[in-house]
Chains A and B, each alone.
Chain A
Amino acid sequence: MISANPLSLLSTWFAGRRRNAVRRKEAAHGFDVGWLRWAVSVLALASITNLFSIIPGVMRIATIANGALGMLLLCYFGHLLLRRLQCSLLEFCVLIAMLGNMLGWLVTIPGISGNPPALVSASALLSAWVLYGAVMGLTHARLLAADRQLARLALMAFVWLSTAAPVLIFVSATIWFFKNTGKGLLVSPDIERWALPFFVVGLCGLVLRLVMTIVTVRSARRILGETAASKGSP
């Protein structure tokens, strides 16, 4: 009979995780452009400072960062979509339509040009959301071996929804809070009507996120051959 030492089990588990991490790093080497990824992250952090600062120097830097961020987003995600994930024409058209509609909706808000920081930051982050959703959706499709066009498009939509779900639930909770705690002057009756739809859609998105994550992670680990290794069996 072998006695199970908790400490040794834990160290075995950590060792297994380290091995997996190294193997994943080697397997994914060159899949995306590492320096581009870092540049996107740094520029994203720099560009959002324009929402919080009125110091002209900082805002100028943020404006430049916003422009560069837009370009790099296109480069980074474009590389993944077109070169690595073989995005089809239909998926590309859907992506462009989604991007165009979201940005069009944003720039046609009357008077938005009077608030350049909000416009620029929202544009960049919205574009990131659309492109990220497309990339992750096609990634899920590859991992789940979803070959049909509709399935791939659906997975893209699911990622868009699941990424936005926490925000929808947060907005719904905030509206509900203001409505029911005597702070009704902060939200109008028209805005209050959105509380329930946002909550329902957000909840659906969270459930989808959970299901998709479980299914996709299982599939990825099977592909990587990590299933037995992660249980730490000799």
Chain B
Amino acid sequence: MAVAAWYMRDLHRALWTVLMWGGLLLFINLSLLRDTFDNPSARLAESKTAVADLAPESIPDARNAAVLYRQAQAAKVAFSGSRSGWYTEIGSPEFVPSKEFQAFLKDNGNAAADLMAASKMKECVWGLTYSGGMGMAIPHLSDMRRSARLLALRARVCAQDGDHQAAAKALAAIYRMAQHMETDPLLMCGLVSVAMSQIATSMLESIVLWETPSTVADLQAYREALWLDQRPRERLARLLEGEKILGVYSLDLYVQRGITTSGGDVNIPWYGAERKSFLAAMDALVEGARSGRLYKQQDDQDIHELIRSVQCGPAIMSGLMVPANASAAASFLKSHDRTVAADVGLAILQFRLKHGHDPKGLDGLVTKFLQAVPRDGFNSQPLQMRSDSSGFVERGEGKTARLKGLIRVYGFGQNGLDDEGHNTWSGEVVPNHLGSGTDDPAFRVPPIQRASKRKLKP
């Protein structure tokens, strides 16, 4: 009877049941994550060593281009004009350097000279503090991009003045500066390098379209200025590897800081799963970069399936960082393909000067102007050449078509389709029949009637 009476009285059992449920929930979660549990303190020591190995060795200031770049940055004078975003105008067909632009160039003459001198130096070490993890400051990124715009403006003005040699030197300096950006194996630095390279290639295209060089020497100077040996896959693999090491170090650091702040008693149970998933996903991206497997940036499902295939628990960090890293990969190949297309475009102009007409195809350039028809980085398909009788229409400029009969040199881009040399980022209106996924990295060459009729000069 006592047993029955005791059983029928609740006596805290409701409270105990709720607490036991909590304990069982914790136990089940820990069991599900059993194989992934990890020790942040031990992992931090490993990842700290790996990050320390990422940093380039310091060099004397006399050999360090970064010192001159900082000197140039200190000497720069801001653009005094009323418009913000002045750099968006300097590639347009109607660009004429106003007094503000002329003053800007004059005030920044010393800075430009320092930039050109620094770009010729072989070594550049920025002295970043890697111990801060992903929170580390990289102050030179925006400075260098602004420097690239300054030199691009200089190139355009020199080209308008007829001095294509000086313009080519300025563009060559931008490409070399872009290479200096990648001393540190960080994806952000790589992306700025790509952006700077694109600034130079875009300016070259503007010069070719609107101030077309008319001598073989000028064309050759531009060709020699190009950064052709971009090796996008090797660079990308190196940068993704660096990003992986830095990312996992940051995770270890923040979890360990959380432990230290809390007095050593707080640890995230799914830390191990996050770490393993992130490492596996980044390894897949690095391997993909080396082997040519690019995860499609337009198709999130592709990245999602990659993460799902490697995750071993919660993979929130992977979900946040891996898609961004994967989409960055395409930028490198785009930049490479566009630069190679620029070289082919300049070769077409050289052919035109020699023969008085355009080649029928890119094969016509081989041997004398090209060693071989280059292949694009995305699909290893040969570049294409197409005469566009409808010209192009700039977005926001009504429907006036320019340069009817221009030549487009292009690769098929990430989608692998022939979009006739059109893409969605060049500022042109894309023809309706091509749809919204056009992505051919392209370089435009003016039609033959715009080329100078001056005779060939050695």
Contact = CB atoms under 8 A, between A and B. Distances in A.
A18 interface: no
B19 A125 contact: yes
Given A27-B5, A111-B37, A117-B266, A41 B315 contact: no
B287 to A, nearest CB: 20
A89 interface: no
Interface in B250-274: 259, 261-263, 265-267, 269, 272-273
Contacts of B308: 184-185, 188-189
Interface string A133-166: 0000001001100000000000000000001101
Interface in B14-41: 15-17, 19-32, 34-35, 37-41
Nearest to B307: A185
B278 to A, nearest CB: 11
B74 interface: no
A122 interface: yes
A124 B269 CA distance: 18
A19 interface: no
A171 B259 CA distance: 27
Contacts of A27: 1-2, 4-5
Contact of A54 (B9, B262, B269, B313): B262
Nearest to B266: A54
B39 A111 contact: yes
Contacts of B214: none
Nearest to A133: B20
B16 A132 contact: yes
B3 A48 contact: no
A31 B2 contact: yes
Best-surrounded residue of B1, B5, B261 (most CB of chain A within 10 A): B5
Given A54-B262, A142-B3, A185 B272 contact: no
A232 to B, nearest CB: 18
B21 A166 contact: yes
B4 A220 contact: yes
Interface residues of A, number: 71
Contacts of A102: 27
Contact of A109 (B20, B30, B41): B30
A36 to B, nearest CB: 11
B316 A112 contact: no
Contacts of A24: 5-6, 8-9
B313 A37 contact: no
A122 B26 contact: yes
A145 to B, nearest CB: 11
B312 A190 contact: yes
B323 to A, nearest CB: 11
A228 interface: no
A37 B4 CA distance: 18
Interface in B84-124: none
A125 B20 contact: yes
Contacts of A220: 4, 7-8
Contacts of B431: none
B136 interface: no
Contact of B9 (A28, A116, A186): A28
B315 to A, nearest CB: 5
B193 interface: no
A25 interface: yes
Contacts of B32: 191, 194
Nearest to B319: A185
Interface string A166-188: 11101100000000000011111
Contact of A216 (B7, B23, B319): B7
Interface string B295-321: 000000000100110011111101100
A223 interface: yes
A139 B28 contact: no
Contact of A31 (B3, B15, B41, B267): B3
Contacts of B273: 188
B41 A84 contact: no
A149 B180 CA distance: 80
Of listed B8, B16, B30, residue having the most chain A CB within 10 A: B8
Nearest to A164: B24
A138 B353 CA distance: 101
Nearest to A166: B21
A139 B15 CA distance: 19
Interface in B330-388: none
What are the 5 tightest A-B residue pairs by CB atom distance, in nearest-first order?
A125-B23, A27-B5, A28-B5, A54-B262, A111-B37
14 contacts: A24-B5, A54-B262, A59-B263, A109-B34, A109-B37, A110-B34, A117-B266, A118-B267, A125-B19, A125-B23, A187-B314, A188-B273, A189-B311, A224-B8
